[in-house]
Structure 1
Amino acid sequence: MGGVLALGMVSVVAQAQLELDPHVAAIGPKSEVPVAIQNARWHMNDGDINTLTFRSMDTLFTTRQVSRSGRVTPLSEANHSLDFDYKFEGKTYSPTDFLDRTFTNALLVMKDGEIVYENYLNHSNPQTHFMGWSMTKSLTSLLVGIALEEGRIKSLDEDITRYLPELKKGAYKGVTIRQVLQMRSGVDYEESYDFESPGIAARNHIQALVKNVVRFVDVAKTIKRAHPPGKVFAYKTIDTAVLGLLVERVSGGSNLAAYMAQHLWEPLGAEADGFFIMDGQPGVGREFSGAGFNAILRDYARVGLLMLNKGRINDKQIVSADWIEESTRPAGDEKGPMDYGYQWWTVSNTPAYSAIGLQGQFIFVDPSTKTVIVKMSYFPPLDKDEAAMRETFSFFEAASKWQPK
């Protein structure tokens, strides 16, 4: 009898698991994505599982490969212990403390083009593909720079709707490519994910990424204006989605992943394929250019090395040095502690800058000390005072000054 009761309880639990989370069910049309996958996507940022989901995106999403090819850019190694301390909020910590205190999955430190420290935690390894989240924005910026140099884009000061006429009915009409790069488009898209009272960004997250019933960039066609273009910095993923659509449109009939493979990933000398998560099936979906790229730790380090070397790697100039300098320069007054260039965060009043992704993903570059640091993390989703972020940059500052012996 007990066994029968137990089986009955299992049946009830199984039935409950087949129910779509009510936050997801309440927004948008019904999706063909299996309910279990929608629920998994809905919870992928949760603090008790994100150490795994952030390196398992190919099991949750349709993906599009960014293929590597040809010679791999070699990375020399001279591994050292991190024999320095750093200070945070009046206390002194060791790098060993840092790894767990800031929810680290993998960490790589490079000095003058040489790997001096590399560590993989929580069952990750050199072949693990880590979700970059908004580090993807910085990669999309590189693709815009390449397209500009190729002449596919004539000028950053052109109205972006010259290339994307389907956006003319919305607030992107009259906005320049430069203003979009600087997150100064002025469009009304608050980067807020309050799912109890969802606004445009929260609804877009559910419909495009969880349910795949719309394309992420589609809201740009009818979006309203909040500020005059160029006047106000406001971080918003829709701006980068529009930049991704721009690159796709000028690529000559290609898609974003193929353009990136040919013009960035192959010339970079990546050692592994990367991939984008998609907002729908092939033929319908697009690469999530604002936050959806995945790669191994060392290939992210090669991106950092490319930046450090002013767009040059493997004896090839992939991106112009002018673009690297321009994109990592603050677009406005340096108010600190972080400012913004062309989809890169700048460390105020220093030459350092960083690609930064949701919940603790970083490619940090300090040209003054020839340091590149890549950190893949699983920050908790609710860190209201950004303690993990602030502590990470305290460590970066110390690591940048560190001189291995």
Structure 2
Amino acid sequence: MALLRYFARMTGMALAVSALGSPAAAQNDGSRWLTPTMIQARAHMFDPALNYLTFQHMDQMFATRTVEAGPDTWELPSEPVSLEGRYTINGEEMDLEAALEATATNALVVVKDGKIVFEEYRNGSDADTRFITFSVAKSYVSTLVGLALADGAIDSLDDPVTKYLPEMEGSGYDGTTIRDLLRMRSGVDWLEVYKFGSETQLTTVHDNSLVGYKYRWCDYAADESRPGAHEPGEVFNYATLDTSVLGCIVEKAVGKPGAEYMSEKLWKPAGMESDAYWIMDGPESVGREFYGAGLNATARDHARFGLMFLNGGKANGKQVVPADWVEDATVPDEGYEPTAEGEDLGYQYQWWTFTDSDVYAALGLHHQYIYIDPANELVIVKASYTAEPVGRDAENEELFRQITDKLTD
């Protein structure tokens, strides 16, 4: 319900390759990823009849970079609780299995009081499946910013983008700060429309970068982005391009690929169970991690990430993310919630916040969730495969409320 209003403009997703151009043409020698079959596969990864499957196997369609897990796994205790019973979704009463089907569920993991109380995998997936969860990745990129800030690799959130990415001088990001990017208030002219056949910035970059492997998202930001109608910091405008620039700032500041830094500073210290991977916006000669929406991980490891934030940055017996960063990133500053008058959500540092509660969440296209409810010591991870890219969050919020009620009554 809430997220729908933010993305009411979005009525589809580009599924075919438009005219491919390059703002900064890079020579691409990733020939095995550039066969017509592979390009068409990437172009059709969102097809509703097959996205339950493609969302489980992105490493067979994209160049990838691994986020290595370490040997010291954060073991989460399991204490199964039955969630059977009646659910009401969109006004219709049904059982749990029907509710999972109605909400296009591939995986659902529920953690209560630090324990896995429910875990369900569907449609051929299992605990080892690494799902793409799209813009859930944005909350991870935010965390990498926080870690780089704590390391001293980033001096201040009020630093301009151009301090780390001088190639952005003269672009729409000239004058924007890191904090502006974290809050999706860059001021850049960007319309986040997922619509087949459109000529929006997102479709252009999607087709040329993720599908055609012609250039990086950050190449587009440097060469083609333009200032919008508002000054940086003034108005919320959801932009995957902003997060892509954030990721490029991190990799430049720390002097290594984002996946390597993520493994070193987050994935291994937190005791993640399985390797994760980023799909890349081009092979090694062209691209790097697709920071805006390209992380693939198991549902359990997403649950560990959510529980770490619920625990104030502590995971696997250690303080992995600074506690003050967790608060700064997830508790809305005064005047920043909601994002606009009449809305139900706020947006802090690449995390969505829910008005009138302390709930916050990482949310992704096609209804992916890391939903964190501090008051009830609850984390819900959901990997979905809806036909629609946006617009069905009300039914998921209904499902989460009813799960919460069953666990807290």
Q: Tell me the distance in 2 between the aligned counterparts of 1:84 and 1:364.
A: 22
Please state how far the C-alpha of 1:23 moved relative to its aligned partner: 4.6
Give 1:402's aligned amino acid: K
State the match for 1:240 in structure 2. Answer: 243
Q: Secondary structure at the match of 2:134?
A: coil
Return the letter of the residue paired with 2:399: F
The 8 Å contact of residues 62 and 280 in structure 1, kept in 2 or not, is answered as: yes
- Return closer, same or farther for 1:22/1:358 CA change in 2, 3 Å cut-off: closer
Q: 2:292 pairs with 284, 290, 293, which one? A: 290
Cα offset for 1:103? Answer: 0.5
Q: Work out the CA distance in 2 between the residues paired with 1:340 and 1:270.
A: 27
Which whole-Å deviations, capped at 9, do the CAs of 1:60-108 have from their partners, x for residues lacking one? Answer: 0010000011210001011121045444444444432220001000101
Give the aligned partner of residue 406 of structure 2.
402
Distance 1:277 1:196 in 2: 24
After TM superposition, give the deviation of residue 46 of structure 1 in Å. Answer: 1.1
CA RMSD in angstroms comes to 1.9
Letter in structure 1 aligned against 2:326: I
From 328, 352, 355, the counterpart of 2:359: 352
Structure 2 residue aligned with 1:51: 52
- What does residue 10 of structure 2 align with? none
CA distance in 2, matches of 1:329, 1:84: 34
The alignment covers a number of residue pairs equal to 381
Is the contact between residue 46 and residue 381 of structure 1 (CA under 8 Å) also seen in structure 2?
no
Whole-Å separation in 1 of the counterparts to 2:16 and 2:95: 42
> Mean Cα displacement is larger for which, 77-86 or 261-270?
77-86
Alignment-derived partner of residue 305 in structure 2: 303
Matched letter for residue 397 of structure 1: R
Corresponding residue of 1:327: 329
User: Secondary structure in 1 aligned to 2:107?
Assistant: strand
Q: Is the 8 A contact 2:81 2:117 kept in 1?
A: yes
Distance 1:37 1:381, change over 3 A: farther
Rounded Cα–Cα distance in structure 2 between residues aligned with 1:217 and 1:90: 44
Q: Please name the residue that 2:271 is paired with.
A: 269
Take 1:38 and 1:62, find their aligned partners in 2: how far apart are those partners? 12
> Equivalent residue of 2:386, what SS?
coil
Is contact 1:369-1:401 (8 Å) kept? no
Give the Cα separation in 1 of the matches to 2:16 and 2:62: 19
Runs of 4+ in 1 over 6 A off after TM superposition: none
Check conservation: 2:337, 2:347, Cα contact below 8 A: no
| Structure 1 contact 186–230 (Cα < 8 Å) conserved | yes
- Residue 369 of structure 1 corresponds to 376
Letter of the 1:240 counterpart? T
Is the Cα–Cα contact under 8 Å of residues 16 and 44 in structure 2 kept in the other structure?
no
**Counterpart for residue 314 of structure 2:** 312
Cα pair 1:352 1:367 within 8 Å, conserved: yes
Distance, in Å, in 2 between the alignment partners of 1:218 and 1:79 is: 48
Question: What is the TM-score normalised by the length of structure 1?
Answer: 0.90
Structure 1: tracts of 5 or more residues without a match: 1-20
Distance 2:202 2:123 in 1: 32
Q: Give the superposition deviation at 1:349.
A: 1.3
Per-residue Cα deviation, 1:19-60 (whole angstroms, up to 9, x for no partner): xx9951533279851111111111101110000000110000
Residue pair 2:18, 2:207 contacting (<8 A) in 1 also: no
- Using a 3 Å threshold, how does the CA distance of structure 1 residues 404 and 329 change in structure 2: closer, same or farther? closer
1:10 maps to: none
Q: Which amino acid aligns with 1:330?
A: P
Equivalence for 1:11: none
Q: In the superposition, relative to structure 1, how do residues 258 and 325 fare at CA in structure 2: closer, same or farther (>3 Å)? A: same
Q: 1:403 to 1:286 in 2, by over 3 A?
A: same
Are 1:126 and 2:106 matched, yes or no?
A: no
Rounded to whole Å, the distance in 1 between the matches of 2:178 and 2:267 is 23
* Partner residue, 1:7: none
Q: Measured at CA, do residues 200 and 149 of structure 1 come closer, stay the same or move farther in structure 2, by a change above 3 Å? A: same
SS of 1:285 mapped into structure 2: coil
| Structure 1 pair 91–23 and aligned structure 2 pair: CA distance change class (3 A) | closer
| Residue in 1 that maps onto 2:197 | 196
For residue 26 of structure 1, the aligned residue among 1, 19, 25 is 19
Is 1:228 matched up with 2:231?
yes
- The CA distance in 2 between the partners of 1:258 and 1:94, in whole Å, is 43
Amino acid paired to 2:343? G
Sequence identity percentage: 42
Q: 2:246 & 2:86 partners in 1: Cα distance?
A: 40
Q: Which deviates more from structure 2 when the two are superposed, residues 321-330 or residues 135-144?
A: 321-330
1:340 equivalent to 2:347? Answer: yes
| Range 272-281 or range 214-223, more displaced | 214-223
Give the secondary-structure state (helix, strand or coil) at the position aligned to 1:368. helix
Quick check: 1:270–1:299 contact (8 Å CA) kept in 2? Answer: yes
* Partner Cα distance (1:25, 1:369) in 2: 47
* Corresponding residue SS for 1:287: coil
Q: Could you tell me how far apart the structure 1 residues matched to 2:16 and 2:343 are?
A: 36
Q: Does the CA contact (< 8 Å) of 2:16 and 2:43 recur in 1?
A: no
**Bigger radius of gyration:** 1
Task: After superposition, give the CA deviation of every residue in 1:277-315 in whole Å (9 maximum; x if it has no partner).
Answer: 011111431100110000111111100111110101112
Question: Match for 1:280: what amino acid?
Answer: G
Mapped to 2, the partners of 1:168 and 1:380 lie a distance apart of: 39
Contact 1:172 1:220 in 2 (8 A): yes
